[in-house]
Structures are given as structure tokens and as C-alpha cells.
Structure 1
Amino acid sequence: MQPKRIAVIGAGLMGHGIAQAFAGAGLAVSIHDADPARRAGVPGRIRESLEQLGADPAAADRVTPADTLAAAVADADVVIEAVPEDLELKKRVFAEIEAAARPSALLASNTSVIPITQIMAGLAHRRRAMGTHWWNPPHQIPLVEVVQAEGTGDAEIEAMMALLAGIGKKPVHVRRDVPGFIGNRLQHAMWREAIALVQAGVCDAATVDEVVKESFGRRLSVLGPLENADLVGTDLTLMVHRYVLHDLDRTPGPLPLLEDLVAAGRLGMKTGGGFRDWTEAEAQAVRTRLADHLCRFDVHDT
């Protein structure tokens, strides 16, 4: 199958970026969102983003908002769900998608953490259902985790991997459907230890961030953790682990510091404070720094 038409369900931060990635590669995209204003605004948001990236804004013309989910998916070769991270909501959406989509269409969820098998449990034809975990911003970050759930067919996984590679993404095959897949398990393992260090009074939040950014963080985009272990030697890695692993945080649930911040309404930059206090100018500076960093990469390589 050579997919020609993509449907995206959900037009929020991730949904419109996924639509942009496909449209930028020349594919026609239909997109639906339950919010009429958000749905209607997608082409304009994509056009603005393309202009900021120095890409052809005409790609936005290949994205068509659909008034209903059924209309969005009716002619699609591939349907990607990008609604909020709510298991019951996703299950309801996929029931609608399966009822309206073509029998040959590939179906995928963009969840970042919920096991795909749980989301697709109610489907009658699970062979074509899988996860495609894109990273934010999806039109700039190359990686997409393609998650094989219980019942997902090998040929369907291969077709999705080929489609994503064909639009310039770097798909990886997640062979076991575990919560958080690969990337978020790694990311949040580090976040848990970072929070634990602050909670234990070892340092403040700003120091944690500085340590990461000015040390191993500088290597991460060119040297993965197991490459690094081989570089320094597995013998040295083993020695370090024998000293430090027993002392790392093993709390099975969220740490009290994080629970307390949320309970106090300290939700991060959007409320002016989380682990650190943020003025609007400081928060905007962080967003700009991230955008500028990502824009250093050729948009056609993502």
C-alpha cells in the first residue's frame, strides 16, 4: 500500500503538528477536532509554522478540516488519533474510527504512555491497530515510536514504518507494548531521580538543570546511553553501577514533592511557578531557546 491520504483526529498541539509533517511531505490530510474553532484554525496555524521554519507555506493547503470524525476518516489510508491522554476517551474515539474507516486503513494512536493494547481492546479488527508515538513538536522531532500491540500484524507495522520513513521521519519498532514505550521510560526515569535530588536537599532545581545541560546533555544528541557505555567500557559502567544504583530513588509512585507542587497550583511556566519560579519573559525565553535550537536542524530532515 502506498498511502496517499491521512486523517488526524485531534487538532491540538500534537495533532496539528502531525498533520503538518504529512502535508509538508506532499500528502493530503483531513483533520477533525470536536472544538470547531480549533478545527477551523488548523490551516492557519500550520501556514504560520511553515513560514517560521522557512518552508513552503503552500503545504498548509493540503490540510482540510472535517466537520465530523466520519468525514475525516472515510477516505483515509491511515488514521492517527491525537486526542488527550484519557484511556476511555481514546477507546470511544477508536470505536468511532473503526466504524467509519475503510477496512484497509491503518489505525494508530499517538499516546505517549498508555499501552496500545488497552486502547485497542474493543476493536473487532486489531491487526491493523498500533501506536505511533510522535514527539513534540512532531513536525520537527525526527523520531516516531511505532508500537506493536497484542494482535498487531507484522505487515501493518512494516507499512507504517515505511510510510514514516518516506516522509523523512526516523521510525523505531517497539516490539513490546509497555507503558511509556522506550523514550518516555528513559526520560521519566531521569526526571524521577532529578526530583528526588531536589526533594532530598542535595541541590535546587536550577542546579539539576544546569548539571544536565552542561555535562552529559551535550552528548545525548550524538551519543546514546549504551553507545556511551561501550565508549567508556562496560567494565567501568559496571563499577559505577555497583556503587550508585543501590542509592538511586526507587519510589514506585510520584514523589511527594511533585504531588505537593500540583496540589498547590504550581503547574510550571503556565502558572508562573513549578519547581522554579518563572516570569512570563523568562518562560518565553525558554520557549524561544528551544525553538531556535530545533530550527538549526534542516526541516526536510525531520
Structure 2
Amino acid sequence: MFKNSNVTVIGAGLMGCGIAQVFAVKNIQVTIYDSIAEARGSAKDKIAANLTSLNMSHASLGFIQVTGDMQSAISNADFIIEAAPEKLAIKQKIFADILPFVEPTTIVASNTSVIPIVDIFSGLNYQDQVVGTHWWNPPYLVPLVEVVQSEQSSEQAVNTMMELLTYVGKTPVHIQKDVPGFVGNRMQHALWREAIALINDGVCSPEGIDLVVKNSFGLRLPVLGPIENADLVGLDLTLDIHNVILPSINNQQSPADVLKHKVADGNLGMKSGKGFIQWSTEKAQGVRDNLNQYLLNAQNKREKQDET
């Protein structure tokens, strides 16, 4: 159904290249558009490095072309996925610039982590062909893509995007309301807010916070989601626990002071060598390598289960 489709990815950064890779590996023609020559020049090298890390053939690179010609990249596309930086103004300008070249049958998607899709397409008449697609990093290893229904989303556009993503091996989830952060990041950052608040209030060290998560409920999450867990322990017990704990859980509407102070001091995490934790280059790379190996093992396990 989708083998003869043409997918255009706007943006040749890590996310854009990773998204393009997902389609190319399934023998779908992909065009990567970027206005920056340096980004275009390194795009295929990034994808080749990803393929090498996965012990995969480089043959899929033949399904990818990279261009700086916006009109040619857009006019022949069945699907357009924008993967520009997470800045509202940048995304709005991209979709305003490409609008004259987009066919009315093309499904147009923005890859954003938290920005409401309605804000990105505000004032632009894309009729019913818009959806949000929130891919997770790295997109070729994390299965989830949140497909966000917005004001300019037809049921057909949502369903077709979900079918395309299923075809290329992803796990799409229909997000029925266009809320900031969608579903995954709302839950993830609710956890981060509480974790940082516990550090801010002197309840636990940063290292202790991570040990608690990794050695308790974090172990269950790959096989037991929060709603399954609530039903497992019983909603009566869940209600009793919530009656005790919810009043004391952090509900600040602004970031914690400890986080604001660290950013103001330039302690940004691994990229600066210090955040909540001190990071050497080797220690930071070890975390990245462990994460990628874990995700790769999980992907291999899913693929074996699918074969059986």
C-alpha cells in the first residue's frame, strides 16, 4: 500500500535523519530537505553511522535523496514530516513557506515534543490534511509515535498516518486532543517535576532519585503500564493511596528553584560536564551507549516476537 509512496522529511538534523532512515529501511522513497548546505552534506553520513551501529546494510541509503530545493521536495510528496528545531516561530515559517507547493491530498505532519499542533498551523489553511507526529529519540529505535489529532485533522488523515507508521514498524497511538506535551511528555515531565522537587526540598540526592526509579517501578514499566498497574493492585487501594499522597505531591506551575539556578549557572547536564550530577566525557558516553544497547535489545526482542 505504501511502498510506492514518497515521504519528505524537512530538517536534516538527528531527528530528521533518523525519521528518514525508518522509511528508507522499508524501501520507501524519502527526500530530506534542508536549507543549510552543511546539514545536507552530512545527512547520509549520519544515517550510515546509524545503520552501522545497528549492523544493518547500507542499501537503504539508495532510497534517500537530499535536496535544498524546497519546491521539488514538497510538490511530489504524499507525506511531509517536519523535523525542525523545537521553536514555534521556526515551525510556523516552514509551514507557511511550503504551503503554496503542497498538494491537497498530501498529509502534512509536524514532529514536535510539546507544542500544540493548533499553534503551529495557526492562520494557515491546510484544510483537513494536518496531523502531529511526535517521534521519540532515537526514532529508529523507539517504537512509539504519537499521532495528534488537531483542528485541521480529518479522520482519514489520522488513520492514514497511523497505517503508514504501522507499515514501517512503529507503534502509533492516536492522541485525540491537542494538548501541550500530548501524552508521553506530560507523564514523563510530571515525574521529572516531582523528582526535581524532591531534590529541591532535600528529600533525596539526585543519585538516590535515579536508584529508586531504576530499582522499583522502573523495572516494571516495559511490561506493566500505569493503568494496568492500577487495575492490578486494585482501584480501591489506588484511591486510598491517592487520598494520602496527592495533597503532598508537587504541583508548582513553574520550574523548581534548583533547576532555574543550575541553568543560570551554566550547569546544563552532560553537555556542560555538570548538571545535577558531575559528568566526565567517558561517563556521559557510557550512559548513551547503555541506553542505545538497551533500546536495540528491546527492538530485537520485539522483532523476534513478531516473527513467532
Q: Which category describes the TM-score, using the shorter chain as reference length?
A: over 0.9
Counterpart CA distance in 2 for 1:133 and 1:50 is 22
Aligned to 1:51: 52
Greater mean deviation of Cα atoms: 56-65 or 176-185? 56-65
Aligned to 2:226: 225
Write out aligned runs for 1:116-155 (5 A): 116-155=117-156
1:206 shift after superposition: 0.6
Letter in 1 for 2:52: E
Counterpart CA distance in 1 for 2:70 and 2:181 is 27
1:150 shift after superposition: 1.0
Greater mean deviation of Cα atoms: 19-28 or 176-185? 19-28
CA-to-aligned-CA distance 1:280-300 (integer Å, 9 cap, x gap): 111011011101111103468
Aligned to 1:267: 268
Aligned to 2:157: 156
Counterpart CA distance in 1 for 2:194 and 2:49 is 38
Counterpart CA distance in 1 for 2:67 and 2:203 is 52
Counterpart CA distance in 2 for 1:46 and 1:166 is 20
Aligned to 1:77: 78
Aligned to 1:291: 292
| Secondary structure of residue in 1 paired with 2:128 | helix
1:187 shift after superposition: 0.1
Greater RCO, CA 8 A, separation 6+: 1
Aligned to 1:86: 87
* TM norm structure 2: 0.95
Aligned to 2:174: 173
Number of matched pairs: 302
Letter in 2 for 1:246: P
Aligned to 1:106: 107
Counterpart CA distance in 1 for 2:22 and 2:246 is 40
Write out aligned runs for 1:18-33 (5 A): 18-33=19-34
| Secondary structure of residue in 2 paired with 1:126 | coil
Counterpart CA distance in 2 for 1:85 and 1:38 is 17
CA contact (8 A) 2:36 2:68 kept: no
Counterpart CA distance in 1 for 2:22 and 2:195 is 33
Counterpart CA distance in 2 for 1:148 and 1:101 is 20
CA contact (8 A) 1:48 1:57 kept: no
CA-to-aligned-CA distance 1:254-280 (integer Å, 9 cap, x gap): 111111111110111000011111111
| Secondary structure of residue in 1 paired with 2:271 | helix
Structure 1, unaligned runs of 5 or more: none
Counterpart CA distance in 1 for 2:149 and 2:174 is 7
| Secondary structure of residue in 2 paired with 1:125 | coil
| Secondary structure of residue in 2 paired with 1:161 | helix
Letter in 1 for 2:155: D
Counterpart CA distance in 2 for 1:164 and 1:101 is 21
Gap change, CA 1:126 and 1:267, over 3 Å in 2 = farther
| Secondary structure of residue in 1 paired with 2:231 | helix
Letter in 1 for 2:173: V
CA-to-aligned-CA distance 1:66-101 (integer Å, 9 cap, x gap): 112222212110000010111111111001222122
Greater mean deviation of Cα atoms: 224-233 or 36-45? 36-45
| Secondary structure of residue in 2 paired with 1:138 | coil
Aligned to 2:203: 202
The alignment yields a C-alpha RMSD, in angstroms, of 1.4
Counterpart CA distance in 2 for 1:60 and 1:298 is 21
Greater mean deviation of Cα atoms: 188-197 or 236-245? 236-245
Aligned to 1:188: 189
1:189 shift after superposition: 0.2
Structure 2, unaligned runs of 5 or more: none
Counterpart CA distance in 2 for 1:129 and 1:98 is 12
Runs of 4+ residues over 4 Å off in structure 1: 299-302
* TM norm structure 1: 0.97
CA contact (8 A) 1:47 1:59 kept: no
CA-to-aligned-CA distance 1:193-238 (integer Å, 9 cap, x gap): 0000000000110100111011110110111000001111111111
1:38 shift after superposition: 1.5
Greater mean deviation of Cα atoms: 36-45 or 286-295? 36-45
CA-to-aligned-CA distance 1:95-141 (integer Å, 9 cap, x gap): 12221222211000000100000101122123101100000000111
Letter in 2 for 1:32: Y
Letter in 2 for 1:143: L
Letter in 2 for 1:76: A
Aligned-residue identity in percent:
46
